[in-house]
Amino acid sequence: MQHEQDYIDHLYARVDALRAQTATAVEEAQRPDGNTRQARVERDVRVAERSGLLAALNAVDGSLCFGRIDLSDGGSHHIGRIGIREDDDERTPILIDWRAPVARPFYLATGHTPMGLRRRRHITTLGRTVTELHDELLDLEDAERTGYEDPSGDAVLLASLGAARTGRMSDIVRTIQAEQDRIIRAPHSGVLVVEGGPGTGKTAVALHRAAFLLYEHREVLAKRAVLIVGPNPAFLSYIGEVLPSLGETGVLLATLGELYPGIEARGTDSPRAAAVKGRAELAEALRLAVRDRQQVPEPGEPVVVPHDDGDLVLDWHLVDEAREAARATRLQHNLARPHFAFRIIDALTAQLVERIGTDPYGGPNLLGPDDVAQLGKAVAANPEVHAAISQLWPELTPEEFVADYLAEPTHLSEEDAAAIRRPVTSPADWTPADVPLLDEAAELLGEDDSAQRAAAEAERQERIAYAEGVLEVARGSESFEFEDTESEILAAHDIIDAERMAERHEEADHRSAAERAAADRTWAFGHIIVDEAQELSPMAWRLLMRRCPTRSMTLVGDPVQTSEEAGVGSWEDILAPYVENRWEHTRLAVNYRTPAEIMELAGAVVRAEHPGFAPPSSVRSTGTRAWARQVTGDLAAEVAEAALAQTPDEGRLAVIAPRRLHEALAARLPGVVAGAEPDLTRHLVLLAPRQAKGLEFDRVLVVEPAEFGTSDLYVALTRATQALGILHESALPPALAEALDAHSGSGAPRP
């Protein structure tokens, strides 16, 4: 133990030295040092490089090193959250990043396939103090014993699974299991689907995969960013600390409702409305609705444009011709509009030329080319003409267009139109299901961004000039001790081309790639991870696929837990339109969260609907069975009483109840606000079943389960890591009652 303590002390001494050095460098670099270009360049380089390093060093403090592998050839490596090198001439690695190939046997080696290892050691620390060691012998011939042998090999895993929850997901880097490791390190390209029941570590694996990909493909991914899509804001805050704890910040976490810049979709739809808005047919309906906005007057009812030299007339024939010509460009609505306008202006000018220049004696038109050009300009500048063009082919923003469409939906059955008909009168009315419609509209309408593009090119030139200065400085600056020599922080030295450097650092824009991506609807992400992927509608998939033209994606989900009516039940249905059958499917089968006793109940509930259903097998049992109690008095009062009695001092309790009970419950539960985004860091949390998706708590009280659909009930029952109780007024769903009875045959505890 002392030996490990000494080693860890040495690692921390190195980290402290690096940190002090870095903090001073950041401080110095931030000091105003004149306004010259060179000074600005130097300062930006230093601040950017050192701040990134400092953030990573701070993130891993207290949990730096967690393992050691002893090799058959006598060597050994310590494994940690980041890589660190010694301050010597060889820059000897003294801590190996868990993502490096050298660390891989730590996760995969078995007695059967030892991968060159003699021993695997788990090091547990509290702050900087080593508290426990657990060794696994992988070479059974090896007679040497350390006294820390863990014959089962899973003491560290079981301790972490049984630990009290904090309301924030923690990383699993110490105990990644082999089946999970293979997914985390799977190749970057293509679509990988990870399916598994509740608690099988899908979310954990997805997040560690993001960290791994950022390490392995930093060059591309730091520039293009990784997008992680989760079901709701509470879930994102639940998982939000996992990547920073691994030293990674270059990731954008977002719900679907946040993926249209400028809109915060906080409104709610009825399940039926969300389902209709999510259907793929909406794409065609919107396309046709855009065409409907390109109008021609009825025959015999021309649009008349008042003019000093006599009214100008836009009849059916003339407008139709202009419209066909504009459509023939195959440009999006707003981009084709100038073509339409040009034809109309041309035709109106011809009318004027005809009227003004006609030779009363029958000769050729009296106007010369200059006169005609002059008239054309006057027509083009005429506000009445503009008004007529806008009436026939309006310039539309996606927001205006979708709001108009929702006020009067077209190209849908009357029933579907009625389900989604709703005025959008303020930005607060937008719902998450509207976001894919807005995005679709933006694609159909197009944006005349030629001015922005010219400005961007000018800015790019400026950046290249600036990067030349950056290179000068970067070449002279010292490197860091990160073991990862490919790290973005280090790589400034290797880059010889100022143009690439300009693209890569984009120093003129101080936002990170993730920040820039968040503000840009057309951003192409380097990789997209979708959690609870089964819930997304076909329209949402269209949006996500547009954000990832390379189709480098990891989709994790569990079709059995689908609760959204709009959700797509099968991976084939989701993916076939985009990648046909070119996608990998992989399954996780072990439940690390829910004890076996609870999982049996949850499995029975689903089996009542799907007889062949096999839930994932739980890795542990607690010996504590679930309990249920029928309430005859005031349900909210009894739930509150039970919740308060059982809220742990350490850890978390969730009450999962139908929304209709939330106000009554919130009134009785301290610190709980009905309708608000739940604060998961509180010891007691109130949730509707759908808000519970993806989350977990030490204890869970499920209230009135007869009001939940099967998948919602399955989700609710599988959230507990320790204990589950059920309180109900109405009869229990029969499958649940039966399963509880089977348990109580052996005496289920009733509090």
Ligand X SMILES: Nc1ncnc2c1ncn2[C@@H]1O[C@H](COP(=O)(O)OP(=O)(O)OP(=O)(O)O)[C@@H](O)[C@H]1O
Q: Which residues are annotated as a binding site?
A: 196-203
Of 99, 101, 53, the closest CA to residue 481 belongs to 53
Binding stretches for ligand X (CB under 6 A): 157, 160-161, 172, 175-177, 180, 196, 198-204, 558, 592-593, 694, 696, 718
Q: What are the beta bridge partners of residue 557?
A: 195
**Rounded distance, CA 75 to CA 416, Å?**
68
Compare residues 202 and 209 and give the one whose CB is closer to ligand X.
Answer: 202
Cα–chain-centroid distance for residue 356?
Answer: 63
Question: What whole-number distance in Å separates Cα of residue 524 and Cα of residue 544?
Answer: 10
CB of 194 to ligand X, least distance (A): 9
Enclosing H/E stretch for 724 = strand 720-728
Which phi and psi angles does 313 have, rounded to 5°? Answer: -125, 125
Distance CA 692, CA 698 (A): 13
Query: What is the helix (H) or strand (E) element at residue 414, kind and residue range?
Result: helix 414-420
Q: Tell me the C-alpha to C-alpha distance, in Å, between residue 555 and each of 192, 230, 418, 513, 534.
A: 6, 11, 33, 22, 9
CB of 233 to ligand X, least distance (A): 16
Residue 595 Cβ, how far from ligand X at the closest point, in Å? 12
**Residue showing the smallest CB distance to ligand X in the complex:** 201
**CB-neighbour burial class of residue 303 (10 A; exposed 0-12, middle 13-18, buried 19+):** buried
CA 275 centroid distance within chain: 21
Nearer to ligand X, 203 or 382 (CB): 203
Distance set, CA 584 to CA 188, 217, 344, 541, 559 (Å): 12, 20, 53, 17, 16
When the beta carbons of 184 and 290 are compared against ligand X, the nearer one is: 184
Q: From the CB of 316, what's the least distance to ligand X, in Å?
A: 59
Closer residue to ligand X in complex, CB, 156/312: 156
582 φ/ψ angles, rounded to the nearest 5 degrees: -90, 70
Q: How far is the CB of 733 from ligand X (least distance, A)?
A: 20
SS3 217: coil
Rounded Cα distance between 387 and 306, Å, is: 11
CB of 283 to ligand X, least distance (A): 29
Could you write out the three-class secondary structure of 339-362? HHHHHHHHHHHHHHHHHHHCCCCC
**Least distance in angstroms from the C-beta of 119 to ligand X:** 20
Least distance from C-beta 108 to ligand X, angstroms?
13
Q: From CA 710, how far away is CA 562, in angstroms rounded? A: 10
Residue from 84, 208, 192 nearest 484 by CA: 84
Largest CA distance in the chain: 120
Query: How large is the angle between the packed helices 281-292 and 271-278, nearest 10 degrees?
Result: 80
**Minimum CB–partner distance for residue 193 and ligand X (Å):** 13
Handedness of CA 463, 468, 473, 478 (dihedral sign): positive
Cβ-based nearer residue to ligand X, 198 or 538: 198
Comparing CB distances to ligand X, the nearer of 199 and 398 is 199
**For residues 462 and 609, which CB has a smaller minimum distance to ligand X in the complex?**
609
172 or 703: CB nearest ligand X:
172
**How many C-beta atoms lie closer than 10 Å to residue 107's C-beta?**
23
Give one word for 532, left, alpha or beta, with left for phi > 0 and alpha for psi -120 to 50.
left
Lookup: tokens for 254:
């977002």
Output phi, psi for 320, to 5 deg: -60, -40
- CB-nearer residue toward ligand X: 254 or 674: 254
Closer CB to ligand X, 161 or 322, in the complex = 161
Is residue 90 within 8 Å of residue 96, measured between CB atoms? no
Angstrom distance (rounded) from CA 697 to CA 653: 6
The alpha-carbon radius of gyration of the chain (Å, integer) is: 32
* Minimum distance, C-beta of residue 230 to ligand X, in the bound complex (Å): 10
Q: Which residues are annotated as a binding site for ATP?
A: 196-203
Q: What 3-state DSSP class applies to 701? A: strand
Between 203 and 711, name the residue whose CB sits nearer to ligand X.
203
Cβ at position 180, least distance to ligand X in Å:
6
Residue with tokens 């100022």: 498
- Cβ–Cβ < 8 Å for 707, 658: yes
Pick between residue 204 and residue 424 the one whose CB is nearest to ligand X.
204
CB of 162 to ligand X, least distance (A): 10
